[in-house]
C-alpha cells in the first residue's frame, strides 16, 4: 500500500549517513544521498511540476521563466521522442517554487530544507529550477561550476545545491557527474556558449579523468557546492529524465525578496492543477 507523503521537516538519515554526507561535501565538494524520500513523495513533486510545465506554456507571464530546446534531427512526433515534453528536446523552468508554491509544502522540499540547515546552518532557498530531458534527447549539460553563472562570483560559503531526480537515474539517462575536490580550486575558465534554447550558457573543459557519475534510485539526491565542477550527459534512455534543483544559501530568502521587489520573480500560476490535492 503506498505510504502517504509526509508533511514533517525531519531528515530520513541516520547519524552515520549524515556524517558521511558532511565529510563527502567537505572533502569532495559533492555527496550522493540515496533513500531520503519515498516513491510517492517524489511522485507528488513530479505531478506538480508536470502540470506546471504544461500550464506555464499557456501563461504569458510565466513564459520568461520557461526555457525550451528545440528537438533537432528527427520529427517531434517520432515515436518515443520527447515523450512527455510536447516534442521539445529539453525544457527548463526557473523559479518553479515561486510559480507553484505548493512545492514548498511537499515532503521533498521540507526534507531537503531540513537537511540543508543541518549541514550548513541557517540557510534558505535562494533559487530553484527544473530540468526535463526528453527521451533520447540531444542536449547534454556541459561541465561547469554553478558560480560561473553568478553575477557575484566570489566564494559563497555554506551554499549548497540539491539535485533531486524524479526517477531512477544512471549515466545513460543523464545523472550528475562530478570532479571530486574541484571545489577546493579556483573558479576555472568558462567559455560563453549559446545553447540551442537561445539562452547563453557557460562551458568549462576540465580533464575529466577520475570523474564520478552518481547513479541513484528514485528517492535519492546529490548535493554540491557552487564551485564543484559537474556535468550531466544526454538522456539516452527511452523515458524522460526529470530533475528538480534547489539552491540554498545563508541569505536565500532575502535574495528572493529583493528579486520579488524588483519584479524578477514569477507570480504563482493560478490553475487548480498546481495546488496540492
Ligand X SMILES: O=C(O)CCC(=O)C(=O)O
**Rounded Cα distance, 124 and 247, in Å:** 8
232, 246, 256, 269: residue in contact with ligand X (rule CB under 6 A): 232
- According to DSSP, the residues that pair with 163 across neighbouring strands are 222, 245
Quick one: which of 214, 218, 169, 275 has its CA closest to 40? 218
49, 243, 256, 269: residue in contact with ligand X (rule CB under 6 A): 243
Q: Which is nearer to ligand X, 246 or 256 (CB)?
A: 246
Q: Which is nearer to ligand X, 5 or 174 (CB)?
A: 174
Q: Which is nearer to ligand X, 232 or 269 (CB)?
A: 232
Strand 212-213 and strand 176-178: pairing?
A: antiparallel
Identify residues 167-226 at the interface with ligand X (CB under 6 A): 174
Chain mean position to CA 44: 16
141, 167, 173, 197: residue in contact with ligand X (rule CB under 6 A): 141
Q: Is 146 in the site for ligand X (CB under 6 A)?
A: yes
Q: Is 12 in the site for ligand X (CB under 6 A)?
A: no
**Rounded Cα distance, 49 and 96, in Å:** 8
Q: Is 99 in the site for ligand X (CB under 6 A)?
A: no
| DSSP H helical ranges for 100-251 | 107-120
Length of the chain: 277
Residue 174: CB minimum distance to ligand X, A = 6
Q: Which is nearer to ligand X, 215 or 276 (CB)?
A: 215
- Count the alpha carbons within 13 Å of 11 in the hemisphere toward its beta carbon: 19
Residues that bind ligand X (CB under 6 A): 131, 141, 146, 161, 163, 174, 230, 232, 243, 245
Amino acid at each position: 500500500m503506498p505510504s502517504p507523503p509526509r508533511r514533517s521537516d525531519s531528515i530520513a538519515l541516520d547519524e552515520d549517513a549524515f556524517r558521511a554526507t558532511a565529510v563527502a561535501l567537505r572533502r569532495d565538494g559533492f555527496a550522493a544521498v540515496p533513500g531520503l524520500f519515498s516513491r510517492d513523495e517524489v511522485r507528488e513533486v513530479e505531478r506538480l511540476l508536470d502540470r506546471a510545465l504544461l500550464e506555464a506554456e499557456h501563461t504569458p507571464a510565466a513564459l520568461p521563466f520557461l526555457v525550451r530546446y528545440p528537438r533537432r534531427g528527427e520529427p517531434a512526433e517520432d515515436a518515443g521522442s520527447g515523450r512527455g515534453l510536447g516534442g521539445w528536446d529539453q525544457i527548463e523552468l526557473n523559479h518553479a517554487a515561486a510559480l507553484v508554491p505548493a512545492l514548498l509544502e511537499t515532503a521533498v522540499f521540507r526534507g531537503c530544507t531540513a537537511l540543508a540547515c543541518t549541514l550548513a546552518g541557517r540557510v534558505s532557498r535562494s533559487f530553484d529550477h527544473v530540468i526535463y530531458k526528453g527521451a533520447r534527447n540531444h542536449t547534454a549539460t556541459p561541465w561547469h561550476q554553478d558560480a560561473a553563472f553568478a553575477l557575484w562570483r566570489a566564494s559563497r560559503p555554506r551554499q549548497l545545491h540539491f539535485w533531486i531526480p524524479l526517477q531512477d537515474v544512471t549515466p545513460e539517462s543523464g545523472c550528475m557527474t562530478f570532479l571530486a575536490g574541484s571545489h577546493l580550486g579556483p573558479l576555472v575558465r568558462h567559455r560563453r556558449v549559446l545553447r540551442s534554447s537561445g539562452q547563453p550558457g557557460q562551458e568549462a573543459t576540465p580533464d575529466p579523468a577520475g570523474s564520478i557519475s552518481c547513479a541513484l534510485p528514485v528517492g535519492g539526491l546529490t548535493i554540491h557546492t557552487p564551485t564543484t565542477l559537474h556535468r550531466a550527459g544526454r538522456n539516452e534512455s527511452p523515458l524522460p529524465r526529470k530533475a528538480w534543483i534547489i539552491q540554498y544559501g545563508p541569505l536565500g530568502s532575502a535574495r528572493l525578496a529583493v528579486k520579488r521587489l524588483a519584479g524578477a520573480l514569477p507570480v504563482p500560476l493560478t490553475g487548480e492543477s498546481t495546488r496540492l490535492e
